[in-house]
Each structure stands twice: as C-alpha cells, then as structure tokens.
Amino acid sequence: MALDEIDPERRALFGFQWGFRSYRGWFDVLFEEYSLYPYLNITRQETHDLLYKKNLLLRLIPVFSKELRITTLLNKIIGMDLLTDKSGTTGVVEQVATILVDEVESRRTIEKRIADVEARLIKNGRYFSGLTHHIYGRPSDVVVKDRTPAAEGSLIAVEGVLNHVDAVKESNPALARAFDGSGIAWFLADFPYFDMSAANPNYDGNVVGVRVDDAMISILTSMPFDQSVGWYPYVTLFGVFHNSLSPKYPQIKVVDWCWTKLRLPKSYDELPKLLQDMMAESADPARSSIAHRPWIDFTRARDIPMFLSAIQIVNRVANINYDLVRSDTKALATQALASAPGKMPSKIAAYFSE
C-alpha cells in the first residue's frame, strides 16, 4: 500500500508498504507483541475445548474442593452447570478464569492450544486481519467484509481496533444509537472511535459487535476493556460469528466472545524517549525526502488525538493518573494540546484534566 493511499490513523497504528519494504507506524513501536488477555470465557463450549485435558482441569479443583465432588467439577466445567447456581457465580467464574491464565504451566498449555486454533483458522479463511481495510497493508490477508456470510456460526478470529459504544457517541451518534438496547457495549472496527465519522473518507460503517455472557461482563474492566479510555488499538478477538445479532438488530454483526489476545504497551518510562525520537524526525527539514518513514505531524489535526491517546493508554495500563505522569511526558502532552485546533474527545480531555 502506497503512503498516499492510507489514512494517518492506520498509518500510525499499523504501518504501511513503501516499495518492497514494510514500515511500522509510530504508534505501533510503542507496543509489545501479542499476548493472551488474562481471562477466558469459560461459559463457552469453544473455550471448554481448550480445557479438556486432565492437567488443566486438575488445577481448578481447589476452587471447588470445599463444596463439590470431582465428578461434579467435571460436569460443571465441561457441561454448562457452572451457571445454574446464580449465587456467587461471578466470583467463581473469575477465580477459574484467573487460575487458568495466571498459573504458568496452564498458561503455556493454553497458549499452545490457542496457537494451534489460530493456525487452523488462518488455513480455513476464518482469521480476519481487519474489517474493511487490510491491516499492515497486506492485500493477501482476509478481512471481515470478504467472507462474513460463509463464517456464520463458526469460530473466527478478528484482528482490529476495539471501541466502546459510549465513546463513539460524540463522533458518530448514529452508530451509537444503532446499538441502543442491544446489550452490546464493545465493538471492533478499523479505526479508533474519534475517527469514525464523515470526516474520515475511509470509514465505511463496517463494525462487529462483541457479545459477552452476563457472567463474564463484570470481569472485563482492565485493558483492553477500559471504559475510561474507550478504545484499544491492538486486539485479536476469538469467538463465534453471527451475521446478525437478532431480528430486532439485523444490521449488527457480532462475535460471541471466547478469548482475546492483545498487545500491551511498553513501559511508561520508555514512552517519552520513543515519542521524542518520532517528533525529532517529524521536525527534520529533510522529511520530504524520507516521506516513507512514519512521523507525527502536529499540523495535522487527526494526529493529535492519536498522540494524546498513546500517552493516555500507556499510563492507564500502568495505573498512573495524569497528575502523577512523568514531567517529560507532560511536556509532550502540553505541546500537543496547545497545537489542537479544536476540542479534544471528552475521554481524552478528561484524562488530561486529572
């Protein structure tokens, strides 16, 4: 993909092609490689398939040992009986999900099985790298728009940008209203919430809702599911796909969430140097001769919320409010805010006013 064919947000997030070479975006270099989000949706059969082997099931016995026999334990995990007793269910579900992913040997086993699942999905055309636009500019990758009818009822993986419905109300109230009453709080898209409007000619309305079982909703509060930020850039979500949520919401495509992979940001102590290097390159008067390199441009209004979001996400993952952010990071944020031609999205503005 040529530089002039990609919008600044996806250029920053996913990089681009220039000739025969691939270049990482400036946002991309702030994040590590993919790892497993520390919860699995154990209410789904697709997740049970990862747990059938004895070595994983035995590690769950302490959670239930005071009240359940081993045979009952197996029924409750492999069957769906875990959710029949509503008293205290969420706590039990969270304990099980945490043990599975936090216990080192179990995590390695699960990650290997997930890698095997991912390989099968890629082979069968059920791994989608983007919704309408090819992530990383690879036309050979499959996007959601290409094959969703054939994916009905199948386990799939979708790599994209996670957004919260409330966050998109400012930039696209019609999209937010489309989810009213649906029970869907999060959705996948090609863009962050603040760039899903008519001002972005590349946004075409193609999104996929994330449907979460009631027993798991209260667990999904940490990144990438942080409502105070409202979006997360690097998410691969695994689940069962449906072309329509229901007859009442025929326009909403959904994935029934099973598990998630995400790219965590690098250390908040690394952030200032990484951003300063990018800004120094951006200020280089010879930049026009190296236009294929990624850069941050504060004269481009759409680069500023991306830049501020980078600071917000990195520090929120580290649980750092803005009043405790490093002084050199604050100086960069102040410069960006001073360059902003208009009002910042409320979730970004709220963080930088803490």
Mean pLDDT by 10 residues, the chain (354 residues): 65 78 84 90 79 58 48 45 45 62 70 92 93 79 84 94 96 95 95 92 93 82 93 96 90 94 93 81 56 66 89 94 93 90 90 89
Q: Are strands 208-211 and 31-36 parallel, antiparallel or unpaired?
A: unpaired
The residue type found at 120 is R
Query: What is the phi-psi region of residue 11: left when phi exceeds 0, alpha when psi lies from -120 to 50, beta otherwise?
Result: alpha
3-state secondary structure (DSSP) of residue 56: helix
158: CB partners within 8 A, 6+ apart: 128, 131, 144, 188, 208, 236, 237, 255
What is the structure's pLDDT at 1? 46
Instruction: Look at residue 31 in the predicted model and tell me its pLDDT.
Output: 95
| Token pair in block for residue 282 | 């951006």
The pTM of the full predicted model, rounded to 2 decimals, is: 0.86
What pLDDT digit, counting tens, does each position of 21-36 carry? 777 888 998 999 999 9
288 token code pair: 């026009």
Q: What is the pLDDT of residue 97?
A: 63
Give pLDDT, residue 193: 96
Give the pLDDT confidence score for residue 122 in this predicted structure.
93
Cis peptide before 62 (omega within 30 of 0): no
Contact (CB, 8 A) for 13 and 161: yes
